[in-house]
Amino acid sequence: MSEQPVVEEPSRFRTFARTWARRVPGLYALIRLVLVTVRQCMRYRVTGLASEAGFFALLSFPPLVYGLLGVMGYVGQALGGRTVDEITGSIEASMASVLSGEALQNVLMPTLQDALDGGRPDVVSIGFLISLWSGSRMVNVIIDTVSIMYGQGGERGIVRTRMLSVALYFCALLVMGVVLPLIVLGPDLLGRLLPPGFLFLLSLYWPVVGGLTIVAFATLYYIATPIRTPWVRDLPGAAFTLVAWVVISVFLRNWLSASVGGISIYGPLAATIIVLIWLYFLAISVLIGAALNSAVARLWPVASAPKGVRARTKGLIEEQVAKVRSRVLETSDRPYDQEDLDSLGASHVRPEGERTPARLTAADGAHDEAAGTETQDDAERRSA
């Protein structure tokens, strides 16, 4: 006699909590979403992946700044000298709490001023291509870790991932070279450029920046995953990432303002450690957003359908071949051999000499006519 499997009954607390949560509209679904997201983060070691992404981001930071300065040099010519001075002043005020005064005045600001004063053809050259390949490691790690959080690690080849990371890094440099000066200046630049009748648009500055950031994160999630869901399904994780970035940046800024001061025990490494901590928290927010999107896909899956051009073309060709094959087999008056059926793409073979339906009907009619003639001759012999 086979043993019956033991079914574990849910505890009273779990039953009570589930019943209570279902009384509030949307609360039970939210709790399930949070639990699945946490389980996804624990399964794929979100803290370890964030450490890896933050470390490679720190290693790729110098090539990123090198390439970004090469692009921003041409943007500085278009913005004008006054705007360039405001940009450098804002950057100097922001970095004063992170870098020492000597490093800020002797290293960072002269390099930044030299890059923004004019174009840098020496940067946008072989050295820029080397920095492009080296700096794309950060994007490569982000794509790899996001794919792992979606449960799709190893689905895309190494070469395709590397080429995709280089393309995304190049696009990010072009976008950041134009957008970063506007973000650093804030609405003040738009206030000088807009006519007096359009100053009300300044109230839409930060909502537009936030919306574009969410669109950028959703696009990153969409491109990074080999098996993609509709782009709209990546918006929850993108919104979470934006909120987490803002909260983390404000917290770190306040913490650094309160703690950094006087003599530091880390010495020259203090700035590097601060940047590494910041990159780690940014990476973990991106990966938690990816886990959130994966949880949404698991709890509320979408119906899969072939959407590619190749899939639609293949299905149309197979349908037309099946129609032609059935039409020819029904109307032909001769048997088909293996070569004929292979040319039609048939999945089965009619044996040599087997009659087709049309030939079978004609043969049966001739047989019936001969049988009728023989019956009449037999009747005449009997009467004689």
Decide which of 102 and 272 is more confident: 272
Is 314 in the same domain as 272?
A: no
Give me the number of domains the chain comprises. Answer: 2
Is 345 in the same domain as 249?
A: no
Is 293 in the same domain as 353?
A: no
d(CA 162, CA 169): 11
Is 339 in the same domain as 247?
A: no
Is 339 in the same domain as 210?
A: no
In the chain, the percentage of residues whose pLDDT exceeds 90 is 15
Contacts 24+ apart (CB under 8 A), 157-162: 162/136
d(CA 237, CA 225): 13
- Name the DSSP class of 354: P
Is 293 in the same domain as 316?
A: no
Is 354's pLDDT higher than 50? Answer: no
Q: How many CA atoms lie within 13 A of 270 on its CB side?
A: 17
Is 266 in the same domain as 376?
A: no
- Name the DSSP class of 106: I
Indicate whether 10 belongs to any domain.
no
pLDDT of residue 359: 45
Is 220 in the same domain as 257?
A: yes
Is 352's pLDDT higher than 80? Answer: no
pTM: 0.64
Task: Tell me which residue has tokens 């990153």.
Answer: 220
User: Where is average pLDDT lowest: 278-287, 297-306, 370-379?
Assistant: 370-379
Parent domain of 108: 27-187+203-299
Indicate whether 366 belongs to any domain.
yes
Is 284 in the same domain as 322?
A: no
pLDDT of residue 361: 47
Is 175 in the same domain as 125?
A: yes
182-240 confidence digits (pLDDT tens): 666 667 666 776 777 777 777 887 888 888 889 989 999 999 998 888 999 999 999 99
| Residues in Cβ contact with 209 at an 8 Å cutoff, skipping those fewer than 6 apart | 183
Indicate whether 326 belongs to any domain.
yes
Q: Assess contact for 255 and 25: CB atoms under 8 A.
A: no
49-90 confidence digits (pLDDT tens): 999 888 888 877 776 666 666 666 666 566 666 666 766 776
Mean pLDDT of the 153-172 span: 84
Cα angle 75, 54, 40 (rounded to 5 degrees) comes to: 120
pLDDT of residue 73: 60
Is 261 in the same domain as 137?
A: yes
Indicate whether 22 belongs to any domain.
no
Indicate whether 55 belongs to any domain.
yes
Is 265 in the same domain as 165?
A: yes
